[in-house]
Structure 1
């Protein structure tokens, strides 16, 4: 009897307890707290950017030295890589046969002139005798023909002499310009064939040029830079060398190629630079930096406001009710810590700058301090730093 009473009491007590617990309902949950961020109002400003182009240093004049007459190399007058001047002797080809040919041609001219003198005397004498009717007129005709032939022999002999003189002169190779000679392609005693054997290469050093490929869409801009001297000063064609140092001298556009390369869609632009110290060497790869003043004001936003996913650039735009929505934008040139926006935003719109990593699409945000946006707790009042 006592046991039944105890069980019944426990059951009633448990029921009362459950009833009392079930009678109270939990209060409804409120909306999630707003995410702290820092914001930026999109605005326009004049933009100056620096465009970079891969460039190659090229000489303004370069000449391959090839033998114009055949023979063995008997002398080399310069060292590899030496500075040379126009007309300076560089190589000599065996001159023996060319000197002999010149001497022979010169002697033939003398013989032809002697024959001409004799023929002239005969023609004069026969002409006088014919006037006295002392000889037949036919004899005079023969004498005048011999004189004409003698004159022709002189012309032929003089032509041979000029050819021999040219060959003799070409047996000594001289520099066609002021510049630097390269490493010799032949050694002393080597056999040189006319027109085929490359002896060396000479190129100019100062001024020198840099060739850059320019996209065809930029051709009008570079044409203006070529024509407008004031614009050239503003363009600041600066060369960045491989050691990241900047070449201090400024250049100017001297040529734009005649046609666009259909394979690459680019055109070659040549820029000339002073090169007194010889820092620029033909064949060097450089980075050409061109100052670009964009036309009109551009939309500029902080670069840290932009996120990239799968090649698309996004920002969070704060709209009605302080809700943040992602938006795809197209970006332009980065300028220090900012970036140009080509499309996707309008002037006056508000975007999230700091705290982007904490924002979700449709989340409510509120503008706070940078520390709050980055998830840092603000310091308590009166706390020591």
Structure 2
């Protein structure tokens, strides 16, 4: 008895477009259909599907990944024998329209996080001096937040000592669409850094006005999307960048990183009290390198002393008149440094490590407040009766 075969009809062009709605641009993270990147779709009677796509720029570094995603979604449809993908490039007018769509009608050069309606929590991670692990804390907090499903971004505002891209394993350069910059991402975290624009390990030799201009461009010209949290990794001290952050994003809250030793704590306290002049809120203090577990007996070895983080939190509470909590004490862990060198945050590589658990706890405390209208200017004036 002959076996019966079932013939599956090829999909319609409309069904193919519906499948393409599930394909996201790898840099913008929005549907290629929504972004008007689908040029045409044709399906013949034999099940061959021809898809023509507009790339945002010529030589798009992620075009192979985009083609793979398109192929996976289309071949999943019944009746598809093969998929042929043609890549075209957007015209200047199409890129201009895309930029306008991404900005959502906002004027150019506007910083979205500084607007009264912004729901993004902005944390400026500060320290009094270098070497306290501020960038390691920033990267691991961002990765922990993204792992919870939040949309997170990092501005590597430490222009002279940029290190965030290495710590997240980012080697690619940003793509530019007209006047808008597409920030690379890793582990669900969007990142922008001056290190992505300078060749090799070339130093950045700039004065104040250039630093301010670069920070403004990172905040206004980068496409960030609808972020839940933005972290700014500030340079040590209370110099130009810290002042620029207060001017450009006045609603940014300070997160002060210190080590237990008193000398570092005194300097960190100075970094925190800048909030008195800039009228910023201090979200809390993180004490890094708090202790080292003895490899033989497991006892805590306080390599850098103790009490520094608590002292900074108490001093800032007195200075500002508002409670400044000690959010956590992160122990010394070789794996934290190794993860940074390897480009893989400890909170993801070894989430059960003591340092990772503390960092995840700090991330939880910083993100427990739901996005809402608290602290926003609603543009409402009292009416006299």
TM over 0.5: no
Shorter-chain TM-score: what band? under 0.3
- Determine which structure has greater relative contact order: mean sequence separation of CA pairs < 8 Å that are 6+ residues apart, divided by chain length: 1
Where is the strand percentage greater, Structure 1 or Structure 2? 1
Give the TM-score, by structure 1 length: 0.20
